[in-house]
Amino acid sequence: MAASGGTTLNCEDFAMFQEVLKVMRTIDDRIVHALNTTVPTVSFSGKVDATQTCKQLYESMVEAHQSRDRAIKTCIAQTSGVVGELRERRTKDEENLTLIKQLRKEQTKLKLMQSELNVEEVVNDRSLKVFNERCRIHYTPPKVN
């Protein structure tokens, strides 16, 4: 699956999956720095269009959040399919130890991917909180349901 920035998200290898998500979360990791360097303080407010700057930052942040959410959910769906297939094969061959091990491995990977959705929620909430603290006077984002 292609992720933002031309990075390919590998759903088979959980370590690589996490590494790509880490790269995709760069905008959120650097939100404070981005706000400090682009949104002016009161004394410099006449030199930069803070409304436009905040709007652009908000749009790129939301785009990154949606891209990561899609990527995670795609991998969850893909891994769920693999787990379902392995379960079906296990019902036909209950004594196959290799199959049982593979199923457990995929189930663990699925749980880890699902937990990434929780991590994503925390990361998004933190970024939006910081954004709102610095940009609330300059830009009000549209309401989302």
Contact 90, 100 (CB under 8 A): yes
Confidence at residue 42, expressed as pLDDT on a 0 to 100 scale:
61
Give the residue among 19, 114, 128, 136 at the shortest CA–CA distance from 64. Answer: 128
Taking all residues of the chain, what is their mean pLDDT, rounded to a whole number?
87
Confidence at residue 53, expressed as pLDDT on a 0 to 100 scale:
87
The greatest distance separating any two alpha carbons of the chain, rounded to the nearest whole angstrom, comes to 74
What Cα–Cα distance (Å) separates residue 76 from each residue in 24, 26, 47, 83, 116? Answer: 17, 22, 46, 10, 10
Give backbone dihedrals phi and psi of 38, rounded to 5 degrees, phi first: -115, -30
Record the tokens describing residue 16, joined without a space.
């690589």
User: Residue 16 pLDDT more than 80?
Assistant: yes
Average pLDDT of the segment spanning 19-27: 92
pLDDT band at 1 (very low <50, low <70, confident <90, very high): very low
10, amino acid identity: N
User: Residue 7 pLDDT more than 60?
Assistant: no
Average pLDDT of the segment spanning 61-66: 94
- Give me the sign of the Cα torsion angle 83, 87, 88, 90: positive
Coil vs helix vs strand at 60: helix
Give the residue among 2, 59, 65 at the shortest CA–CA distance from 28. Answer: 65
Record the tokens describing residue 90, joined without a space.
């296990």
User: Residue 95 pLDDT more than 50?
Assistant: yes
